[in-house]
Structure 1
Protein backbone atom coordinates (compact mmCIF):
# COMPACT_ATOMS: atom_id res chain seq x y z
CA UNK A 1 0.00 0.00 0.00
CA UNK A 2 2.81 2.40 0.92
CA UNK A 3 4.54 1.62 -2.36
CA UNK A 4 1.38 2.45 -4.32
CA UNK A 5 0.96 5.74 -2.46
CA UNK A 6 4.60 6.58 -3.10
CA UNK A 7 4.26 5.85 -6.81
CA UNK A 8 1.08 7.93 -6.98
CA UNK A 9 2.80 10.83 -5.23
CA UNK A 10 5.73 10.58 -7.64
CA UNK A 11 3.41 10.62 -10.66
CA UNK A 12 1.59 13.67 -9.34
CA UNK A 13 4.90 15.38 -8.69
CA UNK A 14 6.14 14.66 -12.20
CA UNK A 15 2.86 15.95 -13.68
CA UNK A 16 3.03 19.19 -11.68
CA UNK A 17 6.67 19.67 -12.56
CA UNK A 18 6.02 19.13 -16.26
CA UNK A 19 3.39 21.90 -16.25
CA UNK A 20 6.19 24.39 -15.57
CA UNK A 21 7.84 23.56 -18.89
CA UNK A 22 4.81 23.26 -21.17
CA UNK A 23 4.58 25.81 -24.00
CA UNK A 24 1.51 28.07 -23.63
CA UNK A 25 -0.37 26.26 -26.44
CA UNK A 26 -0.19 23.02 -24.45
CA UNK A 27 -0.65 24.52 -20.99
CA UNK A 28 -4.32 24.32 -19.97
CA UNK A 29 -3.76 27.22 -17.56
CA UNK A 30 -2.58 29.65 -20.25
CA UNK A 31 -5.05 31.79 -22.25
CA UNK A 32 -6.18 30.29 -25.54
CA UNK A 33 -4.15 31.64 -28.46
CA UNK A 34 -6.60 31.87 -31.34
CA UNK A 35 -3.70 32.28 -33.78
CA UNK A 36 -1.79 29.13 -32.79
CA UNK A 37 -2.19 25.80 -34.61
CA UNK A 38 -4.91 23.84 -32.78
CA UNK A 39 -4.13 20.81 -30.63
CA UNK A 40 -6.18 18.69 -28.19
CA UNK A 41 -5.77 21.33 -25.45
CA UNK A 42 -7.37 23.90 -27.77
CA UNK A 43 -10.72 22.11 -27.44
CA UNK A 44 -10.46 22.15 -23.64
CA UNK A 45 -9.63 25.85 -23.62
CA UNK A 46 -12.48 26.63 -26.02
CA UNK A 47 -14.91 24.84 -23.71
CA UNK A 48 -13.58 26.87 -20.80
CA UNK A 49 -14.38 30.12 -22.62
CA UNK A 50 -18.07 29.22 -22.32
CA UNK A 51 -17.66 29.00 -18.56
CA UNK A 52 -15.49 32.07 -18.03
CA UNK A 53 -16.09 35.37 -19.88
CA UNK A 54 -12.81 36.75 -18.53
CA UNK A 55 -10.94 33.81 -20.08
CA UNK A 56 -12.62 34.57 -23.40
CA UNK A 57 -11.51 38.20 -23.45
CA UNK A 58 -8.04 37.07 -22.31
CA UNK A 59 -7.88 34.79 -25.36
CA UNK A 60 -8.30 37.73 -27.74
CA UNK A 61 -5.69 39.72 -25.81
CA UNK A 62 -3.22 36.81 -25.90
CA UNK A 63 -3.82 36.47 -29.64
CA UNK A 64 -3.27 40.20 -30.33
CA UNK A 65 -6.74 40.38 -31.91
CA UNK A 66 -8.46 43.65 -30.98
CA UNK A 67 -12.15 43.43 -30.22
CA UNK A 68 -14.76 46.06 -29.53
CA UNK A 69 -16.82 45.12 -26.49
CA UNK A 70 -20.55 45.76 -26.71
CA UNK A 71 -22.61 46.98 -23.74
CA UNK A 72 -24.77 44.37 -22.07
CA UNK A 73 -28.42 44.39 -23.11
CA UNK A 74 -30.91 43.69 -20.36
CA UNK A 75 -34.36 42.43 -21.28
CA UNK A 76 -37.56 41.26 -19.64
CA UNK A 77 -38.35 39.12 -22.69
CA UNK A 78 -35.52 36.60 -22.38
CA UNK A 79 -33.30 38.34 -24.93
CA UNK A 80 -30.41 39.43 -22.72
CA UNK A 81 -27.01 39.90 -24.32
CA UNK A 82 -24.00 39.70 -22.01
CA UNK A 83 -20.22 39.64 -22.54
CA UNK A 84 -20.61 40.42 -26.22
CA UNK A 85 -18.33 41.93 -28.83
CA UNK A 86 -18.50 43.06 -32.41
CA UNK A 87 -17.12 40.23 -34.50
CA UNK A 88 -13.47 41.23 -35.07
CA UNK A 89 -12.60 43.38 -38.07
CA UNK A 90 -10.31 40.67 -39.44
CA UNK A 91 -13.26 38.37 -39.91
CA UNK A 92 -14.61 37.83 -43.42
CA UNK A 93 -18.29 38.19 -42.49
CA UNK A 94 -20.58 40.54 -44.44
CA UNK A 95 -22.40 42.60 -43.18
CA UNK A 96 -19.37 43.55 -41.09
CA UNK A 97 -18.97 43.49 -37.31
CA UNK A 98 -22.20 41.83 -36.19
CA UNK A 99 -22.94 41.55 -32.48
CA UNK A 100 -21.79 38.21 -31.00
CA UNK A 101 -21.07 36.72 -27.61
CA UNK A 102 -17.36 36.57 -26.90
CA UNK A 103 -17.37 32.76 -27.02
CA UNK A 104 -19.11 32.76 -30.41
CA UNK A 105 -16.54 35.26 -31.72
CA UNK A 106 -13.69 33.07 -30.45
CA UNK A 107 -15.14 29.94 -32.02
CA UNK A 108 -15.71 31.81 -35.28
CA UNK A 109 -12.08 32.96 -35.34
CA UNK A 110 -10.86 29.37 -34.92
CA UNK A 111 -13.33 28.16 -37.54
CA UNK A 112 -12.27 30.71 -40.17
CA UNK A 113 -8.58 30.04 -39.74
CA UNK A 114 -8.55 26.27 -39.26
CA UNK A 115 -11.59 25.00 -41.19
CA UNK A 116 -13.00 27.52 -43.65
CA UNK A 117 -9.85 28.72 -45.43
CA UNK A 118 -8.18 25.27 -45.64
CA UNK A 119 -11.39 23.80 -47.09
CA UNK A 120 -11.61 26.59 -49.68
CA UNK A 121 -7.98 26.11 -50.75
CA UNK A 122 -8.39 22.34 -50.95
CA UNK A 123 -11.68 22.12 -52.85
CA UNK A 124 -11.84 25.42 -54.74
CA UNK A 125 -8.23 26.53 -55.12
CA UNK A 126 -8.82 29.97 -53.60
CA UNK A 127 -9.43 31.62 -50.24
CA UNK A 128 -12.72 32.97 -48.95
CA UNK A 129 -12.90 36.76 -49.18
CA UNK A 130 -16.43 37.18 -47.78
CA UNK A 131 -18.85 35.12 -45.72
CA UNK A 132 -22.42 36.28 -46.35
CA UNK A 133 -24.45 35.84 -43.18
CA UNK A 134 -28.12 36.34 -42.29
CA UNK A 135 -27.56 37.77 -38.83
CA UNK A 136 -26.53 36.98 -35.29
CA UNK A 137 -28.92 38.80 -32.94
CA UNK A 138 -32.69 38.44 -33.21
CA UNK A 139 -35.02 38.42 -30.21
CA UNK A 140 -37.15 35.41 -31.14
CA UNK A 141 -37.96 31.80 -30.38
CA UNK A 142 -36.51 28.76 -32.15
CA UNK A 143 -37.77 28.58 -35.77
CA UNK A 144 -39.63 31.88 -35.22
CA UNK A 145 -42.33 29.96 -33.33
CA UNK A 146 -44.93 31.92 -31.39
CA UNK A 147 -44.18 29.85 -28.27
CA UNK A 148 -41.32 27.72 -27.02
CA UNK A 149 -37.73 28.24 -25.98
CA UNK A 150 -35.67 31.19 -27.04
CA UNK A 151 -33.30 30.82 -29.97
CA UNK A 152 -29.57 31.29 -29.39
CA UNK A 153 -30.00 34.25 -31.74
CA UNK A 154 -31.96 35.92 -28.94
CA UNK A 155 -28.69 36.32 -27.03
CA UNK A 156 -26.37 36.91 -30.05
CA UNK A 157 -24.92 33.45 -29.51
CA UNK A 158 -25.52 32.16 -33.07
CA UNK A 159 -24.83 33.10 -36.67
CA UNK A 160 -26.52 31.93 -39.89
CA UNK A 161 -24.30 31.62 -42.98
CA UNK A 162 -25.81 31.66 -46.47
CA UNK A 163 -22.94 31.99 -48.95
CA UNK A 164 -19.21 32.41 -49.49
CA UNK A 165 -17.44 34.68 -51.96
CA UNK A 166 -13.95 33.61 -53.03
CA UNK A 167 -10.97 35.85 -53.73
CA UNK A 168 -11.56 35.09 -57.42
CA UNK A 169 -15.08 36.54 -57.20
CA UNK A 170 -16.73 33.14 -57.46
CA UNK A 171 -19.71 32.66 -55.13
CA UNK A 172 -20.73 29.46 -53.39
CA UNK A 173 -24.33 29.37 -52.12
CA UNK A 174 -25.66 26.92 -49.56
CA UNK A 175 -29.11 26.93 -51.17
CA UNK A 176 -27.85 26.43 -54.73
CA UNK A 177 -24.71 24.33 -54.34
CA UNK A 178 -25.42 21.98 -51.43
CA UNK A 179 -27.66 19.59 -53.46
CA UNK A 180 -25.50 19.62 -56.62
CA UNK A 181 -22.46 17.39 -57.18
CA UNK A 182 -19.13 19.08 -57.64
CA UNK A 183 -16.34 20.87 -55.77
CA UNK A 184 -18.72 23.49 -54.35
CA UNK A 185 -20.77 20.82 -52.60
CA UNK A 186 -17.59 19.11 -51.36
CA UNK A 187 -16.42 22.44 -49.97
CA UNK A 188 -19.74 23.07 -48.21
CA UNK A 189 -19.70 19.63 -46.60
CA UNK A 190 -16.13 20.11 -45.44
CA UNK A 191 -17.16 23.43 -43.92
CA UNK A 192 -20.19 21.90 -42.18
CA UNK A 193 -18.21 18.93 -40.85
CA UNK A 194 -15.27 21.05 -39.71
CA UNK A 195 -17.52 23.57 -37.99
CA UNK A 196 -18.69 20.82 -35.65
CA UNK A 197 -15.34 20.94 -33.85
CA UNK A 198 -15.59 24.63 -33.01
CA UNK A 199 -19.30 25.20 -32.41
CA UNK A 200 -21.64 23.38 -30.05
CA UNK A 201 -24.49 23.13 -32.56
CA UNK A 202 -24.26 23.05 -36.37
CA UNK A 203 -27.40 22.71 -38.51
CA UNK A 204 -27.50 22.62 -42.31
CA UNK A 205 -29.77 21.68 -45.21
CA UNK A 206 -29.91 18.02 -44.16
CA UNK A 207 -31.51 18.99 -40.86
CA UNK A 208 -34.84 20.41 -42.02
CA UNK A 209 -36.48 22.66 -44.62
CA UNK A 210 -35.91 25.77 -42.50
CA UNK A 211 -32.15 25.37 -42.99
CA UNK A 212 -32.08 24.62 -46.71
CA UNK A 213 -30.47 27.96 -47.51
CA UNK A 214 -27.97 28.38 -44.66
CA UNK A 215 -25.78 26.87 -41.97
CA UNK A 216 -26.77 27.68 -38.39
CA UNK A 217 -23.92 27.57 -35.85
CA UNK A 218 -24.11 28.49 -32.18
CA UNK A 219 -22.42 28.12 -28.82
CA UNK A 220 -25.50 27.15 -26.81
CA UNK A 221 -25.86 24.29 -24.36
CA UNK A 222 -27.31 21.85 -26.92
CA UNK A 223 -24.80 19.87 -28.96
CA UNK A 224 -25.31 18.43 -32.42
CA UNK A 225 -23.94 18.23 -35.95
CA UNK A 226 -26.66 17.81 -38.56
Structure 2
Protein backbone atom coordinates (compact mmCIF):
# COMPACT_ATOMS: atom_id res chain seq x y z
CA UNK A 1 0.00 0.00 0.00
CA UNK A 2 2.83 2.38 0.86
CA UNK A 3 4.53 1.59 -2.42
CA UNK A 4 1.31 2.35 -4.30
CA UNK A 5 0.94 5.68 -2.49
CA UNK A 6 4.50 6.63 -3.38
CA UNK A 7 3.84 5.82 -7.03
CA UNK A 8 0.76 8.06 -7.09
CA UNK A 9 2.73 10.86 -5.46
CA UNK A 10 5.53 10.64 -8.04
CA UNK A 11 2.97 10.58 -10.85
CA UNK A 12 1.29 13.69 -9.50
CA UNK A 13 4.63 15.49 -9.20
CA UNK A 14 5.52 14.52 -12.78
CA UNK A 15 2.22 15.72 -14.19
CA UNK A 16 2.58 18.94 -12.27
CA UNK A 17 6.03 19.47 -13.72
CA UNK A 18 4.81 18.81 -17.25
CA UNK A 19 1.96 21.23 -16.77
CA UNK A 20 4.33 23.91 -15.57
CA UNK A 21 6.63 23.28 -18.52
CA UNK A 22 3.71 23.49 -20.92
CA UNK A 23 2.66 26.83 -19.44
CA UNK A 24 6.20 28.14 -19.63
CA UNK A 25 6.51 27.12 -23.29
CA UNK A 26 3.02 28.30 -24.30
CA UNK A 27 3.12 29.42 -27.96
CA UNK A 28 2.71 33.13 -28.59
CA UNK A 29 1.00 34.87 -31.48
CA UNK A 30 3.47 36.45 -33.92
CA UNK A 31 4.37 39.96 -32.81
CA UNK A 32 3.43 41.46 -36.17
CA UNK A 33 -0.23 40.73 -35.58
CA UNK A 34 -0.39 42.88 -32.45
CA UNK A 35 1.68 45.56 -34.17
CA UNK A 36 -0.66 45.60 -37.17
CA UNK A 37 -3.69 46.06 -34.92
CA UNK A 38 -2.11 48.84 -32.89
CA UNK A 39 -0.87 50.64 -36.03
CA UNK A 40 -4.34 50.56 -37.58
CA UNK A 41 -5.88 52.23 -34.52
CA UNK A 42 -3.01 54.72 -34.24
CA UNK A 43 -3.55 55.81 -37.85
CA UNK A 44 -7.32 56.19 -37.24
CA UNK A 45 -8.16 53.91 -40.17
CA UNK A 46 -11.35 52.80 -38.43
CA UNK A 47 -13.75 55.03 -36.55
CA UNK A 48 -15.85 53.53 -33.76
CA UNK A 49 -19.57 53.93 -34.29
CA UNK A 50 -22.85 52.20 -33.39
CA UNK A 51 -21.92 49.68 -36.11
CA UNK A 52 -18.28 49.14 -35.11
CA UNK A 53 -17.69 48.57 -31.41
CA UNK A 54 -14.72 47.20 -29.44
CA UNK A 55 -15.25 43.77 -27.92
CA UNK A 56 -15.49 43.59 -24.14
CA UNK A 57 -12.09 41.89 -23.78
CA UNK A 58 -9.08 40.60 -25.68
CA UNK A 59 -9.39 37.18 -27.28
CA UNK A 60 -6.46 35.05 -26.11
CA UNK A 61 -6.47 31.41 -27.14
CA UNK A 62 -6.96 28.58 -27.38
CA UNK A 63 -3.42 28.03 -28.68
CA UNK A 64 -2.21 31.19 -30.43
CA UNK A 65 -5.66 32.12 -31.70
CA UNK A 66 -7.08 35.50 -30.81
CA UNK A 67 -6.98 39.26 -31.25
CA UNK A 68 -5.52 42.02 -29.10
CA UNK A 69 -8.27 44.58 -29.85
CA UNK A 70 -11.15 42.73 -31.53
CA UNK A 71 -14.02 44.67 -33.09
CA UNK A 72 -17.67 43.64 -33.23
CA UNK A 73 -19.00 44.80 -36.60
CA UNK A 74 -22.64 44.86 -37.69
CA UNK A 75 -22.25 47.15 -40.73
CA UNK A 76 -19.68 48.88 -42.90
CA UNK A 77 -19.59 52.33 -44.50
CA UNK A 78 -21.11 53.85 -41.38
CA UNK A 79 -24.21 51.67 -41.58
CA UNK A 80 -24.79 51.86 -45.35
CA UNK A 81 -23.89 48.18 -45.88
CA UNK A 82 -25.13 45.75 -43.24
CA UNK A 83 -23.70 42.34 -42.39
CA UNK A 84 -26.20 39.50 -42.28
CA UNK A 85 -24.78 38.70 -38.82
CA UNK A 86 -22.33 40.34 -36.42
CA UNK A 87 -18.70 39.70 -37.33
CA UNK A 88 -15.57 39.73 -35.15
CA UNK A 89 -12.71 41.30 -37.09
CA UNK A 90 -9.45 43.08 -36.51
CA UNK A 91 -8.97 46.77 -37.33
CA UNK A 92 -7.07 46.22 -40.58
CA UNK A 93 -9.76 43.99 -42.04
CA UNK A 94 -12.49 46.54 -41.28
CA UNK A 95 -10.48 49.34 -42.91
CA UNK A 96 -9.71 47.29 -46.03
CA UNK A 97 -13.31 46.11 -46.39
CA UNK A 98 -14.53 49.71 -46.22
CA UNK A 99 -12.05 50.74 -48.91
CA UNK A 100 -13.03 47.81 -51.14
CA UNK A 101 -16.71 48.67 -50.80
CA UNK A 102 -16.16 52.33 -51.64
CA UNK A 103 -13.73 51.89 -54.51
CA UNK A 104 -14.90 48.62 -56.10
CA UNK A 105 -18.23 47.20 -54.93
CA UNK A 106 -20.48 50.24 -55.02
CA UNK A 107 -19.19 51.68 -58.33
CA UNK A 108 -19.61 48.26 -59.97
CA UNK A 109 -23.14 47.87 -58.55
CA UNK A 110 -24.19 51.32 -59.77
CA UNK A 111 -22.68 50.75 -63.21
CA UNK A 112 -24.26 47.33 -63.76
CA UNK A 113 -27.50 47.55 -61.78
CA UNK A 114 -28.10 51.26 -61.18
CA UNK A 115 -28.14 50.85 -57.39
CA UNK A 116 -25.92 50.18 -54.39
CA UNK A 117 -25.22 47.06 -52.36
CA UNK A 118 -26.92 47.36 -48.98
CA UNK A 119 -26.05 44.02 -47.34
CA UNK A 120 -23.23 41.47 -47.34
CA UNK A 121 -24.07 37.83 -46.68
CA UNK A 122 -21.30 37.05 -44.20
CA UNK A 123 -20.44 33.39 -43.73
CA UNK A 124 -17.80 33.68 -41.02
CA UNK A 125 -14.99 35.79 -39.60
CA UNK A 126 -13.19 34.93 -36.33
CA UNK A 127 -12.99 31.20 -35.71
CA UNK A 128 -10.05 29.35 -34.14
CA UNK A 129 -9.63 26.56 -36.69
CA UNK A 130 -7.30 25.10 -39.26
CA UNK A 131 -7.33 26.05 -42.93
CA UNK A 132 -10.41 24.63 -44.66
CA UNK A 133 -11.17 22.74 -41.42
CA UNK A 134 -8.55 20.17 -42.39
CA UNK A 135 -6.91 18.13 -39.59
CA UNK A 136 -3.19 18.84 -39.38
CA UNK A 137 -3.35 21.95 -41.57
CA UNK A 138 -2.03 25.33 -40.49
CA UNK A 139 -4.22 27.72 -38.57
CA UNK A 140 -6.50 29.77 -40.80
CA UNK A 141 -6.41 33.59 -40.81
CA UNK A 142 -9.91 33.28 -39.41
CA UNK A 143 -8.16 32.30 -36.15
CA UNK A 144 -6.96 35.90 -35.84
CA UNK A 145 -10.01 37.82 -37.05
CA UNK A 146 -7.95 38.61 -40.13
CA UNK A 147 -10.31 37.03 -42.69
CA UNK A 148 -13.95 36.90 -43.74
CA UNK A 149 -16.02 34.66 -46.00
CA UNK A 150 -18.65 36.38 -48.18
CA UNK A 151 -21.53 34.36 -49.63
CA UNK A 152 -23.25 37.11 -51.59
CA UNK A 153 -24.84 40.55 -51.65
CA UNK A 154 -28.25 42.19 -51.50
CA UNK A 155 -29.00 45.20 -53.67
CA UNK A 156 -31.13 48.17 -52.69
CA UNK A 157 -34.17 46.80 -54.55
CA UNK A 158 -33.96 43.53 -52.59
CA UNK A 159 -32.31 41.44 -55.29
CA UNK A 160 -29.84 38.85 -53.95
CA UNK A 161 -26.66 37.88 -55.75
CA UNK A 162 -24.89 34.76 -54.48
CA UNK A 163 -21.62 33.09 -55.42
CA UNK A 164 -23.04 29.58 -55.33
CA UNK A 165 -25.63 30.41 -58.00
CA UNK A 166 -24.51 33.48 -59.92
CA UNK A 167 -20.77 32.89 -60.34
CA UNK A 168 -21.52 30.39 -63.13
CA UNK A 169 -25.32 30.55 -63.67
CA UNK A 170 -26.10 34.25 -63.34
CA UNK A 171 -26.80 36.50 -66.32
CA UNK A 172 -23.85 38.12 -68.09
CA UNK A 173 -23.93 41.34 -66.07
CA UNK A 174 -24.22 39.50 -62.74
CA UNK A 175 -21.31 37.19 -63.51
CA UNK A 176 -19.25 40.19 -64.60
CA UNK A 177 -20.18 41.99 -61.38
CA UNK A 178 -18.88 39.15 -59.19
CA UNK A 179 -15.67 38.95 -61.19
CA UNK A 180 -15.22 42.73 -60.93
CA UNK A 181 -15.44 42.39 -57.16
CA UNK A 182 -12.99 39.47 -57.22
CA UNK A 183 -10.44 41.44 -59.25
CA UNK A 184 -10.80 44.53 -57.07
CA UNK A 185 -10.33 42.42 -53.95
CA UNK A 186 -7.09 41.01 -55.36
CA UNK A 187 -5.70 44.56 -55.46
CA UNK A 188 -6.39 45.11 -51.76
CA UNK A 189 -6.31 41.82 -49.87
CA UNK A 190 -3.37 39.43 -49.47
CA UNK A 191 -5.49 36.35 -50.20
CA UNK A 192 -8.60 36.10 -52.39
CA UNK A 193 -10.18 32.69 -53.04
CA UNK A 194 -13.40 32.59 -55.05
CA UNK A 195 -15.35 29.74 -56.70
CA UNK A 196 -13.00 27.82 -58.96
CA UNK A 197 -9.98 28.27 -56.69
CA UNK A 198 -10.58 24.91 -54.93
CA UNK A 199 -13.54 22.73 -53.90
CA UNK A 200 -13.80 24.40 -50.48
CA UNK A 201 -14.76 27.78 -51.92
CA UNK A 202 -17.50 26.76 -54.34
CA UNK A 203 -20.08 28.92 -52.55
CA UNK A 204 -18.21 31.98 -51.26
CA UNK A 205 -15.28 34.35 -51.62
CA UNK A 206 -12.61 34.28 -48.91
CA UNK A 207 -10.48 37.40 -48.32
CA UNK A 208 -7.74 37.94 -45.73
CA UNK A 209 -4.63 39.99 -44.93
CA UNK A 210 -2.16 37.18 -44.34
CA UNK A 211 1.62 37.62 -44.61
CA UNK A 212 2.80 35.55 -47.60
CA UNK A 213 6.31 36.94 -47.74
CA UNK A 214 7.85 39.48 -50.08
CA UNK A 215 8.70 39.65 -53.75
CA UNK A 216 10.86 42.16 -55.59
CA UNK A 217 7.68 44.10 -56.43
CA UNK A 218 6.29 44.05 -52.89
CA UNK A 219 4.21 41.75 -50.66
CA UNK A 220 3.18 38.46 -52.25
CA UNK A 221 -0.52 38.11 -53.01
CA UNK A 222 -2.61 35.03 -53.72
CA UNK A 223 -5.50 35.59 -56.16
CA UNK A 224 -7.43 32.52 -57.33
CA UNK A 225 -8.85 31.98 -59.84
CA UNK A 226 -6.91 34.45 -61.96
CA UNK A 227 -8.76 37.66 -62.61
CA UNK A 228 -10.60 37.93 -65.92
CA UNK A 229 -11.57 40.74 -68.25
CA UNK A 230 -15.30 41.33 -68.05
CA UNK A 231 -17.88 42.77 -70.41
CA UNK A 232 -18.74 46.46 -70.19
CA UNK A 233 -21.68 47.55 -68.03
CA UNK A 234 -24.97 47.72 -69.91
CA UNK A 235 -26.31 51.27 -70.42
CA UNK A 236 -29.15 51.83 -67.98
CA UNK A 237 -31.43 53.44 -70.62
CA UNK A 238 -30.55 50.93 -73.40
CA UNK A 239 -29.59 53.85 -75.65
CA UNK A 240 -26.27 54.25 -77.50
CA UNK A 241 -23.59 56.39 -75.95
CA UNK A 242 -23.72 60.11 -76.69
CA UNK A 243 -21.04 61.05 -79.26
CA UNK A 244 -18.31 63.45 -78.28
CA UNK A 245 -18.79 67.07 -79.30
CA UNK A 246 -17.24 70.44 -78.57
CA UNK A 247 -18.67 72.34 -75.66
CA UNK A 248 -20.60 75.54 -76.34
CA UNK A 249 -19.06 78.89 -75.57
CA UNK A 250 -18.81 79.37 -71.83
CA UNK A 251 -20.25 82.84 -71.33
CA UNK A 252 -18.69 83.12 -67.88
CA UNK A 253 -15.22 82.65 -69.42
CA UNK A 254 -15.75 84.69 -72.58
CA UNK A 255 -14.36 87.97 -71.25
CA UNK A 256 -15.83 91.44 -70.89
CA UNK A 257 -18.60 92.57 -73.29
CA UNK A 258 -16.23 94.84 -75.21
CA UNK A 259 -13.99 91.82 -75.89
CA UNK A 260 -16.65 89.80 -77.68
CA UNK A 261 -19.61 90.39 -79.96
CA UNK A 262 -22.68 91.25 -77.85
CA UNK A 263 -25.93 93.04 -78.40
CA UNK A 264 -26.62 95.62 -75.70
CA UNK A 265 -30.33 95.99 -75.03
CA UNK A 266 -31.23 98.55 -72.42
CA UNK A 267 -28.94 97.38 -69.62
CA UNK A 268 -28.79 93.69 -70.50
CA UNK A 269 -26.75 91.83 -73.09
CA UNK A 270 -26.61 88.49 -74.81
CA UNK A 271 -23.71 86.84 -76.63
CA UNK A 272 -23.86 85.90 -80.27
CA UNK A 273 -23.25 82.18 -80.80
CA UNK A 274 -19.61 81.59 -81.61
CA UNK A 275 -20.40 79.76 -84.84
CA UNK A 276 -22.79 82.39 -86.27
CA UNK A 277 -20.20 84.88 -87.59
CA UNK A 278 -18.30 82.06 -89.29
CA UNK A 279 -21.47 80.83 -90.96
CA UNK A 280 -22.30 84.34 -92.13
CA UNK A 281 -18.80 84.83 -93.54
CA UNK A 282 -19.10 81.62 -95.56
CA UNK A 283 -22.54 82.37 -96.97
CA UNK A 284 -24.66 85.24 -95.64
CA UNK A 285 -28.34 84.32 -95.17
CA UNK A 286 -30.67 85.22 -97.97
CA UNK A 287 -32.35 87.79 -95.75
CA UNK A 288 -28.99 89.59 -95.42
CA UNK A 289 -27.74 89.23 -98.98
CA UNK A 290 -28.87 92.14 -101.11
CA UNK A 291 -29.63 94.36 -98.13
CA UNK A 292 -27.51 97.43 -97.93
CA UNK A 293 -27.78 98.03 -94.21
CA UNK A 294 -29.74 95.57 -92.00
CA UNK A 295 -31.52 97.43 -89.22
CA UNK A 296 -31.67 96.37 -85.60
CA UNK A 297 -35.04 94.67 -85.90
CA UNK A 298 -33.76 92.52 -88.75
CA UNK A 299 -30.62 91.50 -86.86
CA UNK A 300 -32.67 90.55 -83.80
CA UNK A 301 -35.08 88.51 -85.90
CA UNK A 302 -32.27 86.59 -87.57
CA UNK A 303 -30.74 85.76 -84.20
CA UNK A 304 -34.14 84.96 -82.69
CA UNK A 305 -33.61 87.46 -79.91
CA UNK A 306 -35.77 90.34 -78.66
CA UNK A 307 -35.30 93.52 -80.66
CA UNK A 308 -32.72 95.80 -79.02
CA UNK A 309 -33.71 99.19 -77.79
CA UNK A 310 -33.47 102.08 -80.26
CA UNK A 311 -31.69 103.99 -77.50
CA UNK A 312 -28.90 101.46 -77.14
CA UNK A 313 -25.34 102.17 -78.18
CA UNK A 314 -24.38 101.40 -81.78
CA UNK A 315 -23.95 97.67 -82.19
CA UNK A 316 -20.47 96.30 -82.81
CA UNK A 317 -22.15 93.52 -84.78
CA UNK A 318 -23.92 96.06 -86.98
CA UNK A 319 -20.65 97.25 -88.43
CA UNK A 320 -19.54 93.64 -88.96
CA UNK A 321 -22.71 92.77 -90.87
CA UNK A 322 -22.39 95.92 -92.92
CA UNK A 323 -18.86 94.89 -93.91
CA UNK A 324 -20.31 91.65 -95.25
CA UNK A 325 -22.63 93.44 -97.65
CA UNK A 326 -21.92 92.20 -101.17
CA UNK A 327 -24.01 94.84 -102.97
CA UNK A 328 -22.21 97.35 -105.26
CA UNK A 329 -20.35 100.06 -103.37
CA UNK A 330 -22.45 103.17 -102.56
CA UNK A 331 -21.72 106.38 -104.46
CA UNK A 332 -20.81 109.23 -102.21
CA UNK A 333 -23.37 112.05 -102.60
CA UNK A 334 -22.19 115.08 -104.51
CA UNK A 335 -22.81 118.61 -103.43
CA UNK A 336 -21.28 121.88 -102.27
CA UNK A 337 -20.48 123.44 -98.91
CA UNK A 338 -22.30 126.69 -98.23
CA UNK A 339 -20.66 129.66 -96.63
CA UNK A 340 -22.40 128.92 -93.34
CA UNK A 341 -20.76 125.46 -93.23
CA UNK A 342 -23.83 123.41 -94.25
CA UNK A 343 -23.31 120.72 -96.91
CA UNK A 344 -25.91 120.83 -99.68
CA UNK A 345 -26.12 117.56 -101.67
CA UNK A 346 -27.08 117.44 -105.30
CA UNK A 347 -29.93 115.45 -106.75
CA UNK A 348 -33.15 114.10 -105.31
CA UNK A 349 -33.43 113.08 -101.61
CA UNK A 350 -33.45 109.34 -102.59
CA UNK A 351 -29.91 109.74 -103.89
CA UNK A 352 -28.48 110.57 -100.50
CA UNK A 353 -30.94 108.90 -98.08
CA UNK A 354 -28.76 106.81 -95.77
CA UNK A 355 -31.61 105.35 -93.73
TM-score by length of 2: 0.47
Higher helix share: 1
Q: Provide, for residues 146-185 of structure 1, a one-character-per-residue CA deviation record: whole Å limited to 9, x for no partner.
A: 1121001111110000011000111111010101351110
TM-score by length of 1: 0.72
Q: Provide, for residues 114-142 of structure 1, a one-character-per-residue CA deviation record: whole Å limited to 9, x for no partner.
A: 11111111122211011101010111100
**1:110-149 pair list within 5 angstroms:** 110-149=99-138
- Out of 52, 55, 67, the position equivalent to 1:81 is 67
Shift of 1:54: 3.2
Question: SS state of the match for residue 162, structure 1?
Answer: strand
Q: How many angstroms apart in 1 are the aligned matches of 2:34 and 2:143?
A: 17
Q: Is contact 2:84-2:119 (8 Å) kept?
A: no
Aligned residue for 1:189? 179
The answer on 1:95 being equivalent to 2:116 is no
Unaligned runs of 5+ in 2: 1-31, 213-220, 225-355
Unaligned runs of 5+ in 1: 1-47
Q: Classify 1:164/1:50 alpha carbon distance in 2 versus 1 (closer, same or farther; 3 Å).
A: farther
- Out of 53, 60, 76, the position equivalent to 1:68 is 53
Question: SS state of the match for residue 131, structure 1?
Answer: strand
Shift of 1:64: 5.2
Q: Provide, for residues 174-203 of structure 1, a one-character-per-residue CA deviation record: whole Å limited to 9, x for no partner.
A: 010101351110000000000112211110
The number of residues matched between the two structures is 178
Q: How many angstroms apart in 1 are the aligned matches of 2:163 and 2:157?
A: 18
Aligned residue for 2:222? 224
Q: How many angstroms apart in 2 are the aligned matches of 1:86 and 1:205?
A: 27
Q: Classify 1:50/1:207 alpha carbon distance in 2 versus 1 (closer, same or farther; 3 Å).
A: farther
Question: SS state of the match for residue 161, structure 1?
Answer: strand
Question: SS state of the match for residue 147, structure 1?
Answer: coil
Q: How many angstroms apart in 2 are the aligned matches of 1:209 and 1:128?
A: 27
Q: Classify 1:152/1:120 alpha carbon distance in 2 versus 1 (closer, same or farther; 3 Å).
A: same
Q: How many angstroms apart in 2 are the aligned matches of 1:218 and 1:101?
A: 11
Q: How many angstroms apart in 2 are the aligned matches of 1:138 and 1:49?
A: 16
Aligned residue for 1:172? 161
The 10-residue stretch of structure 1 (52-61 or 214-223) with the greater mean CA deviation from structure 2? 52-61
Q: Classify 1:93/1:136 alpha carbon distance in 2 versus 1 (closer, same or farther; 3 Å).
A: farther
Q: How many angstroms apart in 2 are the aligned matches of 1:51 and 1:205?
A: 32
Q: How many angstroms apart in 1 are the aligned matches of 2:74 and 2:62?
A: 29
Q: Provide, for residues 3-25 of structure 1, a one-character-per-residue CA deviation record: whole Å limited to 9, x for no partner.
A: xxxxxxxxxxxxxxxxxxxxxxx
Aligned residue for 1:16? none
Shift of 1:65: 5.2
Aligned residue for 2:352? none
Q: Classify 1:177/1:75 alpha carbon distance in 2 versus 1 (closer, same or farther; 3 Å).
A: same
Q: How many angstroms apart in 2 are the aligned matches of 1:190 and 1:127?
A: 15
Q: Classify 1:64/1:145 alpha carbon distance in 2 versus 1 (closer, same or farther; 3 Å).
A: closer
Greater Rg, structure 1 or structure 2? 2
Shift of 1:77: 2.1
The answer on 1:152 being equivalent to 2:137 is no
Q: How many angstroms apart in 2 are the aligned matches of 1:65 and 1:146?
A: 37
